[in-house]
């Protein structure tokens, strides 16, 4: 029989774990407080594209995608990649040139058109019946389809599930209060063998309002940890003069590999 001392010990452990759980949740909430209520409406992103205020765009393939690509592919060929909030990231062409397929979602039509034009690709343009107002732009030469719509109008019923996701300038760009909704959408787009590469930024949120927003590792775990395993692949000092001009004194860029738990 179980003695009462053993039962008390078990009970104590359960209480401690529950307390630690809610306490770390409280700590995450306090870390996020400075940016919690910051909201960018879609029109503000379009204004940035119209004014060419797109400092986030990089003319080269992202270093941290390049250095971790083997871990994302894990030996697979012809992988279907999803790019949430894709902008005109040249990473999409890089992957398609290697024989992978790319589906991106981006609200700005200017960004989508510039992607194809700057990469010398011809494309077709058609409406998306399942999403009123949305259009899909498809490359004629490569497997690249870019949906011009609000990300939250996209779902697995449009393009199925994906074998990989490259999330750069996306979780860090959406409004902080939408993170749970965003994580649920991303998880619904992950195939069982999906390998999700997530780029996050760590800095003092008291010094800059964002975007990009500060997303601590603790929150990455609380957003995805219930159904996914995760590994911090890389953590680099990313502070440049652009960020010093924002008032930042440090900036760390982290890359996480997130995979569905195999139950
Ligand atoms: C910070 S940029 C990053 C773009 C790209 N991932 C990159 O790394 O260059 C964020 C992009 O998301 C787009 N965007 C913001 N909110 C969106 C939403 N709810 N649905 C679709 N696109 C959105 C913006 O127009 C912008 O191009
Ligand atoms: C709680 O958050 C602060 C920053 O707000 C951090 O310095 C501290 O290490 C955190 N404590 C734990 C136990 O995570
Ligand atoms: C697209 O074509 C122009 C003109 O021929 C060329 O200058 C440019 O380098 C090309 N861009 C790419 C990404 O190949
Ligand atoms: C698109 O998303 C907006 C806000 O997230 C919602 O109000 C609207 O109903 C959605 N439209 C479609 C066609 O799903
Ligand atoms: C596009 O993807 C399909 C299916 O994976 C493949 O058969 C086809 O060869 C690809 N086309 C190009 C241009 O890569």
Q: What pLDDT is attached to residue 10?
A: 64
pLDDT greater than 70 at residue 206: yes
| Cβ(153) – ligand 4 distance below 6 Å | yes
Residues 6+ apart with CB under 8 A from 59: 90
| Position 1 pLDDT exceeds 60 | no
- Is the beta carbon of 28 within 6 A of some atom in ligand 2? no
For residue 10, the CA-to-ligand 4 centroid distance in Å is 47
With a 6 A CB cut-off, is 27 part of the ligand 2 pocket?
yes
Domain ranges for the chain, please list them. Answer: 1-35, 39-260
Q: Is the CB of 146 under 6 A from ligand 1?
A: no
152 lines ligand 4 (CB under 6 A): yes
Mean pLDDT of the chain: 95
Averaged pLDDT, 73-89: 98
User: Which ligand does the CA of 79 lie closest to?
Assistant: 5
* The ligand 2 atom nearest the CA atom of 31: 5
> Which of 3.30.70.260, 3.40.50.920, 3.30.420.40, 3.40.50.150 is the CATH number of 39-260?
3.40.50.150
DSSP string, 65-89: HHHHHHHHHTT-SS-EEEETT-TT-
Closest atom of ligand 3 relative to the 90 alpha carbon: 13
Rounded to an integer, the average pLDDT of 71-100 is 98
Higher pLDDT, 75 or 2: 75
What band does 3 get if pLDDT is binned at 50, 70 and 90?
Answer: confident
The pLDDT of residue 160: 98
Predicted local distance difference test score (pLDDT) of residue 25? 81
Angstrom distance (rounded) from CA 89 to CA 132: 25
The tens digit of pLDDT for each residue in 20-64 reads 566 678 889 999 999 999 999 999 999 999 999 999 999 999 999
Backbone dihedral angles phi then psi of residue 190, each to the nearest 5 degrees: -90, 125
pLDDT bracket for residue 197 (50, 70, 90): very high
pLDDT band, very low/low/confident/very high, at 9 (cuts 50, 70, 90): confident
Q: How confident is the model at residue 18 (pLDDT cuts 50, 70, 90)?
A: low
Confidence of residue 6 (pLDDT cuts 50, 70, 90): low
Parallel, antiparallel or unpaired: strands 144-148 and 135-139: antiparallel
Q: Which ligand 4 atom lies nearest to the CA of residue 134?
A: 13
Residue of higher predicted confidence among 108 and 262 = 108
Indicate whether 137 pLDDT > 80. yes
- Residue 78 is predicted with a pLDDT of 98
Probe target for ligand 4 pocket from 153, 156, 158, 175, with the most ligand atoms within 8 Å of CB: 153
| Distance in angstroms (rounded) separating the CA atoms of residues 252 and 262 | 30
- For residue 140, the ligand closest to its alpha carbon is 5
| Ligand 2 in reach of 204 Cβ (< 6 A) | no
146: three-class secondary structure by DSSP: strand
Question: Ligand 3 atom closest to Cα of 119?
Answer: 13
Between 20-29, 138-147, 173-182, the lowest mean confidence (pLDDT) is in: 20-29
Q: Work out which ligand 4 atom sits closest to the CA atom of 132.
A: 13
Return the residue whose CA atom lies nearest to atom 6 of ligand 4. Answer: 153
pLDDT band at 66 (very low <50, low <70, confident <90, very high): very high
Say which residues have a Cβ less than 8 Å from residue 245's Cβ, sequence separation at least 6. none
Tell me which of 3 and 121 has the higher pLDDT: 121
Q: How far is the CA of 169 from the centre of ligand 1 (A)?
A: 7
């Amino acid at each position: 029989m179980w003695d009462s001392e053993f039962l008390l010990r078990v009970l104590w452990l359960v209480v401690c774990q529950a307390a630690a759980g809610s306490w770390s949740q409280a700590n995450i909430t306090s870390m996020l407080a400075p940016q919690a209520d910051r909201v960018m409406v879609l029109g503000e992103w379009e204004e940035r594209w119209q004014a060419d205020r797109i400092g986030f765009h990089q003319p080269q393939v992202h270093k941290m995608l390049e250095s971790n690509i083997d871990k994302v592919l894990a030996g697979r060929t012809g992988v279907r990649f999803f790019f949430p909030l894709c902008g005109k990231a040249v990473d999409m062409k890089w992957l398609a040139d290697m024989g992978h397929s790319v589906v991106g979602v981006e609200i700005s039509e200017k960004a989508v058109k510039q992607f194809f034009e700057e990469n010398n690709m011809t494309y077709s343009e058609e409406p998306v019946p399942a999403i009123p107002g949305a259009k899909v732009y498809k490359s004629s030469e490569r497997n690249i389809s870019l949906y011009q719509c609000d990300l939250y109008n996209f779902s697995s019923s449009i393009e199925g599930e994906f074998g990989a996701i490259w999330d750069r300038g996306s979780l860090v760009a959406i409004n902080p209060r939408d993170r749970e909704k965003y994580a649920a959408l991303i998880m619904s787009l992950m195939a069982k063998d999906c390998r999700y590469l997530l780029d996050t930024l760590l800095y003092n949120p008291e010094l800059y309002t964002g975007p990009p927003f500060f997303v601590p590792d603790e929150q990455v775990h609380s957003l995805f940890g219930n159904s996914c395993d995760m590994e911090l692949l890389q953590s680099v000092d990313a502070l440049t003069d652009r960020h010093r001009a924002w008032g930042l004194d440090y900036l760390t860029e982290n890359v996480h590999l997130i995979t569905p738990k195999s139950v």
